[in-house]
Amino acid sequence: MIRGILLDLDKTLVNVLDYVDYCSALRALFKHLGREVNADVPETYWGVCASKAMETLVALSGSVEWDTASNIIEEYEIKGAGASTPMHGLGRFMDEVGKFDKKAIVTLLGPKATKIVIQIHKINVDAVVSRSRDFKPKPYPDQVLQALKLLDIRPSEAVMVGDSEWDEKAAVSAGVCFIGVTNRRPVHHFKSSIAVVEDLHGACEVLRALRKNSLVC
């Protein structure tokens, strides 16, 4: 039985991405690092700058350079967070999420930007796992596993909803079933989702089916 819902934040519940100048953030980051670093991450649709900024944080995870790198990017994310807009259908979707026992945000955004977004959009959850030096970021399963720990539920009792292939990989690697939200992009690379939907209205229907046991993970 599904008891807990894990939610990606950016471009799943709220559009922050389109308000963050990730290209300037990336320039500042590369200037600081003095080099480009690479990581093996899934293909997704965030745009070159945002994708590379997040890939750089994945590559630097566990290194002494991570904190400063994350802070450089978060300066720009904080500016974008204040201008962020809800994804279509957020209110109805969160009403459905509220019918489950427990819910958590699992996001690649920095903690300060995450807090701003959650406050502005009045998102009510039991736990928040944002980007942190303590956990390897999505697409690794560590943030998802931390959310499960905070909610005190097993992977089989949770479902995650997210808009990116990074979310899917993190969820599935943690043993959590996944609902992919395409945001109507013509091409996506979701391959292990129990359902792939266009928007939060579609995700809401899948959660309802899970709640009524007409769909199982």
> Are β-strands 4-7 and 158-162 bridged in parallel, bridged antiparallel, or unpaired?
parallel
Phi first, then psi, for residue 198 (nearest 5°) are -80, -30
Number of residues that bind Mg ion (CB under 5 A): 6
Binding of residue 168 to Mg ion (CB under 5 A): no
Alpha-carbon distances of 181 from 111, 160, 172, 184, 207, rounded to whole Å: 23, 11, 15, 8, 13
Among 142, 163, 165, 168, indicate the residue that binds Mg ion (CB under 5 A): 163
Binding of residue 138 to Mg ion (CB under 5 A): no
Binding of residue 8 to Mg ion (CB under 5 A): yes
Task: Give the DSSP letter of residue 130.
Answer: -
Q: Which DSSP string do the residues of 43-78 spell out, in sequence order?
A: --SS-HHHHHHHHHHHHHTTSTTHHHHHHHHHHHHH
Q: CB under 5 A: which stretch of 90-98, 122-130, 157-165, 175-183 binds Mg ion?
A: 157-165
Phi first, then psi, for residue 143 (nearest 5°) are -65, -40
Q: Kindly state the smallest distance separating residue 3's Cβ from Mg ion, in Å.
A: 23
Instruction: Yes or no: say if 128 and 118 are a contact pair by the CB < 8 Å rule.
Output: yes
Q: Quote the CA–CA distance of 135 and 157 in Å, as a whole number.
A: 22
Contacts with Mg ion in 181-210 (CB under 5 A)? none
> Are β-strands 14-15 and 85-86 bridged in parallel, bridged antiparallel, or unpaired?
antiparallel
Among 6, 10, 141, 160, indicate the residue that binds Mg ion (CB under 5 A): 10
Binding mask 53-92 for Mg ion (x = CB under 5 A): ----------------------------------------
Binding of residue 11 to Mg ion (CB under 5 A): yes
Q: Kindly state the smallest distance separating residue 108's Cβ from Mg ion, in Å.
A: 7
Q: Kindly state the smallest distance separating residue 66's Cβ from Mg ion, in Å.
A: 20
Instruction: Yes or no: say if 209 and 215 are a contact pair by the CB < 8 Å rule.
Output: yes
Q: Given the complex with Mg ion, which of 108 and 148 has the nearer CB atom? A: 108
Q: CB under 5 A: which stretch of 11-19, 62-70, 181-189, 198-206 binds Mg ion?
A: 11-19
**Residues binding Mg ion (CB under 5 A):** 8, 10-12, 163-164
